[in-house]
Chain A
């Protein structure tokens, strides 16, 4: 599905890049303290100071990194870590599928590079942006702006957290951890398209909460998502 792309797209890169940086700035409220927290926890668990940014820079998926630090041992249990990483990040498969139709005008190497950085926030902000104006095309500049800002922040602050140790103490005692669900709730608001979404989302949440109580580990993510998808199959059939 190769289509001719308008030449004006190149000129939009830097304005879009700046727009992406601006859009992502509020997220730093969540990224900075969590980065510091992850870094200091990792070092306490036996990570060396070089291994911290290596983990966060190559993996760039916060949820699985916190899990990996929690399960870290010396020597590390590689299969266990790989399994848990897959469980937590399996949602990326669906996220990539949702983004795929918007990437058709790009080159393959660009796509594989972009997907390397597809964390929840980058992906959701991009999709929300695509939906705000009908007919808007996927913009590499916007995606890159968000990505560069969040990626650098994550790698740098996890490194600082590892380097400085536990300087901030446990910030989650004060309520900073609420920044994370707040980001997700705002992202959900951006995806809201009326009551049709409500039922699958509620089922997804309900099942995830239930599974979170019943099973150890990260099974609640795929279980909740799957329940939501099954519900949406029924809902969409009845339109």
Chain B
């Protein structure tokens, strides 16, 4: 149950950096009126961010993981969040057990 000063400093620095990334987008745009074109772009951007974050899942070379991802995508087109997650997790688990 100890707190080390260097660790504390590192944690506080990371927290500060993260908070700055969270407020700077707002500060840049606050009070500005966006053109319709900018609005249309800002509608597309969030998806670009999310898809880039999960890119490593698509980049994998394991067939079980790729098939599991495909099953998750398929489930997502028909089901809501909870069944989709269960589908993805269970299918991937089985595929990994079978395919190794």
Contact = CB atoms under 8 A, between A and B. Distances in A.
Do these two chains interact? Answer: yes
A124 B46 contact: yes
Interface residues of A, number: 97
Contacts of B18: 59-61, 64, 85, 89, 92
A221 B53 contact: yes
Contacts of B76: 182, 185-186, 189
B31 A89 contact: no
A111 interface: yes
A200 B12 CA distance: 36
A166 interface: no
Contacts of B48: 200-201, 204, 224-225, 227-229, 232
Interface in A188-210: 188-189, 191-193, 196-197, 200-201, 204-205, 207-209
B96 to A, nearest CB: 6
Interface in A149-191: 173-189, 191
A199 to B, nearest CB: 9
Main secondary structure of the interface of A (DSSP, over half): helix
Contacts, number: 284
Contact of B25 (A64, A98, A191, A200): A98
Contact of A91 (B1, B12, B52, B84): B52
B42 A98 contact: yes
A85 B7 contact: no
A103 interface: yes
B50 A179 contact: no
B93 A174 contact: yes
A201 B52 CA distance: 8
Interface string A209-223: 100110000001111
Interface string B56-68: 1111000001001
Interface of A: 1, 26-27, 29-30, 47-51, 54-55, 58-61, 63-64, 68, 74-76, 78, 81-82, 85-86, 89-101, 103-104, 111-112, 115-116, 118, 120, 123-124, 127, 173-189, 191-193, 196-197, 200-201, 204-205, 207-209, 212-213, 220-225, 227-229, 232-233, 235-237, 239
Interface of B: 1-4, 6-15, 17-19, 21-31, 34, 37, 39-59, 65, 68-69, 72-73, 75-77, 80-82, 84-96
